[in-house]
Structures are given as C-alpha cells and as structure tokens.
Amino acid sequence: MIQRFKPGLLAVLRRLGLRAQPAPTPAYQRGRGTYGHPTVLDWGEGAKLSIGAFCSIANGVTILLGGEHRTDWVTTYPFSELWPGARHIKGHPKTKGDIVIGNDVWIGRNATLLSGITVGDGAVIGSEAVVGKNVAPYTIVAGNPAVCVRQRFSAEIVAQLAAIAWWDWADAEIESAIPFLLSPDIQAFIDYAQTRRASA
C-alpha cells in the first residue's frame, strides 16, 4: 500500500484540529513482490511514480512527486496554494518530473526521494539518504545529498544481470532459482541463468 497525502490539505486540517486520512491512491505502478509503505507526497502536478518488481522499501520512506518551491520567482512562498487571490496562477508548486524506481531496489529507513529521478535496477539507497539525482543500476548511495558509496558489482556483471532480468521470470522459474538468488556466488547464478536461456 502506498499512502498518498496532499500536503496543503494536511496543514489546513491540522489548523482545524482534524486528523488527516490518506487520499485515495492514484494509479501509481508497483511491481509484483514489492513490499513496504512509502508515503507519497503529491501536489497533483501530474508527475508519475513507477516502482519495479521485488523492491524492498523500509519504514519511513518518503517520495516527493513535486511540491518544490520556485527559486526562480521573486518569492518562494506558495501563494497559489495558500492565498485565495492567487489560486489562478499556475506553476507553483513545481515538479522535476516522474520518479522511476527499477527492480530489486532496496530503499532504507527514512530515505527521501525527490522528483525527477530514476533509480536503476539492483540499487541500494541507504537509511536517511536524500536522493535528488539518478542512481545507476547496482549502485549503493547514502547521505544527504546521496552520493555513491560503491558499485555492488563490476560493470561486466551488472550488464549480465541486466540482460538476465530475473524479476521478469515466471514464479516457477524464480522458485527454481532461489538457491542461486540467495547466494553470494554471482557467477553461479549467471551460469544458471545462461543455461536456463540456452535450454529454452
């Protein structure tokens, strides 16, 4: 389940002493096997969220699909949201675009993902990281702002894993591969996957 809130509404409800309830979730894409309950802050600017298959999303993860203040305008104040006479002026808040999270991604506790980013397959986002730029496949990032800590595997292995794309396999095929998936012997998994492909 993805919890979606419209932050401007939250502030109004708080002032009135009311408790906010999650808004109905729009058609965000979420792949099979993915678990976790990220909070998605969406100001209705049209940005989309796509989360791949078999992702692990820890508690406290926040995904901002927009809501950025305009630093290129005279004021950063959100008059369009909070001032009745300015509601007709569009463009504030703004978004940098869609968020695309690949397959088999692990997002640590209390991480924040900002709009307009792509997180590659097999990436790892450390706890409390603030991610404002793209994360390459099989890369570990951490910190505020998030920076590359290291690559999980060599470029050659990453290319092989991308070509294998085990997350697209049928459940029965994944079940057969479990001993290889749950192992540090990456080459054994690659050999298994290539044998599987050759026999198909």
What are the residue numbers of the active site?
A: 69
Q: Which residue has the tokens 């099979």?
A: 32
C-alpha 31/C-alpha 96 separation (Å) is 23
The residue behind tokens 């959100």 is: 78
> In the chain, what is the greatest distance between 2 CA atoms, to the nearest angstrom?
67
Residues 98/47, Cβ–Cβ less than 8 Å: yes
User: Would you say 146 and 135 are in contact if contact means Cβ atoms under 8 Å apart?
Assistant: yes
Nearest residue to 68 (alpha-carbon basis) of 81, 86, 85, 87: 81
